[in-house]
Structure 1
Amino acid sequence: MASAADKSVYIEFLWDAQPPHSIARQQTIQFLTDGKHDHQVCVATDLADTDVHGLVLTVLDAAGQEVSSHTYPDYRGVKHCYSADLGKDGTLGLWTFRAKTGDGRAGESTIQVNARLEDSPLSKDPGTPYVVGRPNYDASIPPPEYLGSLEWDMKVNAQGKVTEVSVVTAEGVGLKLRDRAIAAGYISLFFPDRQRESKPLVWRRQLSFAPD
């Protein structure tokens, strides 16, 4: 996450809105225009509540045309997620999300946008997830203690759903985040692959933690 000294805006994409107090979230590299999911774009500039004079979030389609733009005058710097406005009739492909605060900080990030999963060029590599679950920050753990690692395996079926999660290693703060890692595993999503009918995919996820 960006610190107060940074000039940039951190941007993260989520497959769907998460309930309050969720212990894991669905980071994604893919959005769909079918309207079946509340895709989210999350932004952050500071670790603490800060007057950044509001936020403007603009979305450009694959042709570089603006499909939506929203102003959030009450944005206060800390991480906040908004529903991604994909507009109507934008050129599908790699889209750009641009965020700019009133105090001059800016950032941008790209994401694949398609009408259906099977239309995505990312589906040509079904062994790579389009949604990767990530453990949420545990505010009860003092920041200096956020040091360690976690590694877990996910068993994936032919439909792209995770059917089993097992923690391989947990060190330091990772020992306290095991439940979050398991939850993150189960909300990960992969493109369908019929070859998994005979042998499920096992995909390993590893995270290292260090204090900000």
Structure 2
Amino acid sequence: MRADREWLVFALYLILLTVTWASSAEDAGSSGADVYIEFLWSKPEAGALARQETRSFVLGKKFNHQVCVAVLRSETPRQSMVLEAVDSRGEVVSRQSDESYSGKKRCYAARLPSWGVPGTWSYRVYLDGESTFTASRSVEVAMSLKAAKFNQPSPVPYVLGRPNYPEEASPQRFVGRLVWVMTVDAGGKVTHVEIEAAEGIGEEMKERALAAGYISRFPVDSRRPDAGIKYRRAMNFRPD
């Protein structure tokens, strides 16, 4: 399943935002595996309806950032995985192994040591003891949330809630559309979420979209009107 998302920002009294975040892995290696790497602002609770997808982290353990890895299409069963964090200097600052990794999606603590250098980091995935990484993805890492560029006044969220797919739904059923609108106040809090459109599998995911809206995070911006501004997110579902 893949969601088509596109950012459109209109800076008027109301702002409508339709979002596309590339969620596929970057810099794929030569192993032939299609590896998905996802960054989460915090660790979701068991059974959560949505998760906090992000493109940014903060050094340290305060936010419990997560890196999730899944092998999407591979005929070869996986037996192990190594996840490596490389900071903006190009130095490996953390490395963790999972000797029971099967290829199914699993999330790990991002392990962002406070002595790492802020900037653009990358997370590399090595499968089954390979010496060359299979896939990698970059993420912006800040010294603190207050100092983060992504947390400066802006109409762009730094955490965008994403609905979790119903586990009981078969891949063939993932066809449809879901659109929701968030109202955001000057403090960056989502105060209201409403469903604008739901078709196909989207009809079954409305509650999940509401949850996704409320866990999104936006920078503080005193220029926002008292009534808040509106951000629109659309997701189109199709089986791969």
TM-score (norm 2): 0.81
Aligned residues between the structures: 210
Give distance in 2, aligned partners of 1:53 and 1:142.
Answer: 25
Contact 2:152–2:220, Cα closer than 8 Å, also in 1:
no
Give distance in 2, aligned partners of 1:47 and 1:120.
Answer: 36
Counterpart of 1:93 in structure 2 is 119
Identity %: 38
Structure 2 counterpart SS, 1:175 = helix
Structure 2 counterpart SS, 1:117 = coil
- Tell me whether 1:39 sits opposite 2:68 in the alignment: no
Judge which range, 148-157 or 83-92, deviates more. Answer: 83-92
CA, structure 1 residues 77+49, in 2 after alignment: closer, same or farther (shift >3 Å)?
Answer: farther
Structure 2 counterpart SS, 1:129 = coil
Give distance in 1, aligned partners of 2:34 and 2:95.
Answer: 19
- Tell me whether 1:123 sits opposite 2:156 in the alignment: no
Judge which range, 99-108 or 163-172, deviates more. Answer: 99-108
Q: Identify unmatched segments of 5+ residues in structure 2.
A: 2-23, 25-30
CA, structure 1 residues 39+125, in 2 after alignment: closer, same or farther (shift >3 Å)?
Answer: same
2:77 to 44, 48, 51: 51
Give distance in 2, aligned partners of 1:6 and 1:21.
Answer: 32
Cα distance, 1:161 vs. partner? 1.1
Structure 2 counterpart SS, 1:140 = coil
1:71 to 83, 88, 97: 97
Which one has more relative contact order, counting CA pairs under 8 Å at least 6 apart? Answer: 2
Contact 1:155–1:162, Cα closer than 8 Å, also in 2:
yes
Give distance in 1, aligned partners of 2:43 and 2:180.
Answer: 24
Letter in 2 for 1:161: K
Higher helix share: 1
TM-score (norm 1): 0.91
Give distance in 1, aligned partners of 2:120 and 2:197.
Answer: 36
Q: Identify unmatched segments of 5+ residues in structure 1.
A: none
Counterpart of 1:173 in structure 2 is 201
Cα distance, 1:187 vs. partner? 0.4
Structure 2 counterpart SS, 1:190 = coil
- Tell me whether 1:81 sits opposite 2:107 in the alignment: yes
Letter in 2 for 1:82: Y
Letter in 2 for 1:69: R
Cα RMSD after superposing both structures: 2.1
1:185 to 184, 209, 213: 213
Judge which range, 163-172 or 45-54, deviates more. Answer: 45-54
Cα distance, 1:65 vs. partner? 1.0
Give distance in 2, aligned partners of 1:49 and 1:187.
Answer: 36
CA, structure 1 residues 138+83, in 2 after alignment: closer, same or farther (shift >3 Å)?
Answer: same
Give CA deviations for 1:15-36 in whole Å, capped at 9, x if unaligned.
0011111111110111112422
Structure 2 matches for 1:136-147, cutoff 5 A?
136-147=164-175
Structure 2 matches for 1:14-25, cutoff 5 A?
14-25=40-51
Judge which range, 198-207 or 179-188, deviates more. Answer: 198-207
Judge which range, 22-31 or 121-130, deviates more. Answer: 121-130
